[in-house]
Amino acid sequence: MEITSNPKLENLPKVLLLGPIRVYTLFESEFSSHFQFIKCNDSPLPLPHFLATSNATAMLIGGHIPITACDVLDHLPSLRCIVTITAGLNHIDLAECCRRGIAVTSAGDAYSNDCADFALALLIDLLRKVSSVHRFGQRVSAEGHYCLSHRLKGKKIGIIGLGSIGSRIARRLEAFGCTILYSSRKQKPSVSYPFYSDICELATNSDILVISCALTNQTRHMINKQVLSALGKEGVIINIARGAIIDEKELVRFLVEGKIAGAGLDVFENEPYVPKELSAMDNVVLLPHAAFITHESFRDVFELAKGNLLAFFSNKPLLSPVTDV
pLDDT at 212: 97
Is 2 part of the annotated catalytic residue set? no
Question: Which structural domain range is residue 55 located in?
Answer: 14-110+295-313
Catalytic position from the list 242, 248, 250, 269 = 242
Answer whether residue 181 is part of any domain: yes
Tell me the longest C-alpha to C-alpha distance in the chain. 71
- Best CA proximity match to 200, nearest among 145, 158, 263: 158
The dihedral region occupied by 146, where left means phi > 0, alpha psi between -120 and 50, and beta the remainder, is beta
Query: Do 160 and 33 share a structural domain?
Result: no
Query: Do 86 and 197 share a structural domain?
Result: no
Q: With 60 as the cut, is the pLDDT of residue 140 above it?
A: no
Answer whether residue 20 is part of any domain: yes
Catalytic position from the list 30, 174, 234, 271 = 271
* 4 — pLDDT class (breaks 50, 70, 90): very low
Answer whether residue 9 is part of any domain: no
Strand partners, 264: 238, 285
pTM of the model: 0.89
Query: Do 148 and 71 share a structural domain?
Result: no
Query: Do 272 and 224 share a structural domain?
Result: yes
Q: What are phi and psi of 159, to 5 degrees?
A: -100, 125
- Residue 37 and residue 34: Cα distance in Å, rounded? 10
Other CB atoms within a 10 A radius of the CB of residue 265 amount to: 24
Beta-sheet strands, E only, within the chain: 14-18, 36-39, 58-61, 81-84, 103-105, 156-160, 179-183, 208-211, 236-239, 262-265, 284-286
Q: Kindly report the CATH number assigned to the domain that includes residue 85.
A: 3.40.50.720
* 2 — pLDDT class (breaks 50, 70, 90): very low
- Residue 81 and residue 90: Cα distance in Å, rounded? 17
Is 22 part of the annotated catalytic residue set? no
For residue range 185-226, what is the model confidence (pLDDT) as tens digits?
A: 999 999 999 999 999 999 999 999 999 999 999 999 999 999
For residue range 230-247, what is the model confidence (pLDDT) as tens digits?
A: 999 999 999 999 999 999
For residue range 22-40, what is the model confidence (pLDDT) as tens digits?
A: 999 999 999 999 999 999 8
Answer whether residue 151 is part of any domain: yes
Other CB atoms within a 10 A radius of the CB of residue 161 amount to: 21
Q: What average pLDDT score do residues 132-148 get?
A: 63
Query: Do 204 and 73 share a structural domain?
Result: no
Catalytic position from the list 128, 172, 221, 289 = 289
Query: Do 274 and 134 share a structural domain?
Result: yes
* 5 — pLDDT class (breaks 50, 70, 90): very low
Query: Do 132 and 74 share a structural domain?
Result: no
Q: What average pLDDT score do residues 45-74 get?
A: 93
pLDDT at 320: 97
Query: Do 131 and 232 share a structural domain?
Result: yes
Query: Do 155 and 116 share a structural domain?
Result: yes
Query: Do 205 and 78 share a structural domain?
Result: no
Q: In what order do the strands lie in the sheet with 236-239?
A: 179-183, 156-160, 208-211, 236-239, 262-265, 284-286
Query: Do 192 and 71 share a structural domain?
Result: no
Length of the chain: 325
Is 271 part of the annotated catalytic residue set? yes
pLDDT at 43: 87
Answer whether residue 74 is part of any domain: yes
* 9 — pLDDT class (breaks 50, 70, 90): low
Query: Do 162 and 261 share a structural domain?
Result: yes
> Count of domains in the chain?
2
DSSP string, 136-187: HHHHS-TT--------STT-EEEEE--SHHHHHHHHHHHHTT-EEEEE-SS-
Q: With 50 as the cut, is the pLDDT of residue 13 above it?
A: yes
Answer whether residue 41 is part of any domain: yes
Answer whether residue 6 is part of any domain: no
The dihedral region occupied by 94, where left means phi > 0, alpha psi between -120 and 50, and beta the remainder, is alpha
SS3 assignment, position 69: coil
